[in-house]
């Protein structure tokens, strides 16, 4: 009977250990996930012709950042640059995050702050439209 119990314990361990590792037990490194998106900014002048969108100068994007905070929204995890085409990308550990922008002047966005959940190997797309408030 002792060998049978040992056999059962071995079978259970062989079945459970890989599941625990796959589920991400503490201390086991998981591959990061990605947060990415496109940022639009405007208007850039008080008078813009409807339907026409003037090009956004690179320095307008450079001045703004996508801010990634821990789930509570209080601890800054990453400050992400926006490239000259309005794209941003950040690799993050799996978890829940609060995403916002650094506000310049009266900038605001209905898209942020918002919560995102990053999973190992996954990609979350979050496009952000920043309204400069210029009228």
Q: Which domains does the chain have, with CATH numbers?
A: 1-29 (no CATH), 31-131 (2.60.40.10)
Task: Identify the pLDDT of residue 60.
Answer: 95
φ/ψ of residue 46, rounded to 5: -60, -25
Q: For residue 8, give Cα distances in angstroms to 5, 12, 17, 29, 50.
A: 5, 6, 14, 29, 73
Block means of pLDDT (10 residues each) for the chain, 135 residues, are 66 57 60 97 84 88 97 94 98 98 93 98 98 87
């Amino acid at each position: 009977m002792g060998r049978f119990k040992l056999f059962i314990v071995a079978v259970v361990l062989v079945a459970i250990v890989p599941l625990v590792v796959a589920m991400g037990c503490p201390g086991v490194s998981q591959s990061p996930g990605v947060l990415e998106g496109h940022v639009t900014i405007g208007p850039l002048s008080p008078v813009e012709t409807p339907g026409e969108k003037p090009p956004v100068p690179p320095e307008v994007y450079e001045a703004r950042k996508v801010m990634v905070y821990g789930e509570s929204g209080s601890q800054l995890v990453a400050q992400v640059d926006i490239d000259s085409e309005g794209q941003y990308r950040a690799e993050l550990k799996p978890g829940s995050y609060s995403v916002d922008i650094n506000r310049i002047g009266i900038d605001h966005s209905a898209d942020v702050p918002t919560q995102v959940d990053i999973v190992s190997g996954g990609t979350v797309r979050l496009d952000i439209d920043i309204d400069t408030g210029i009228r």
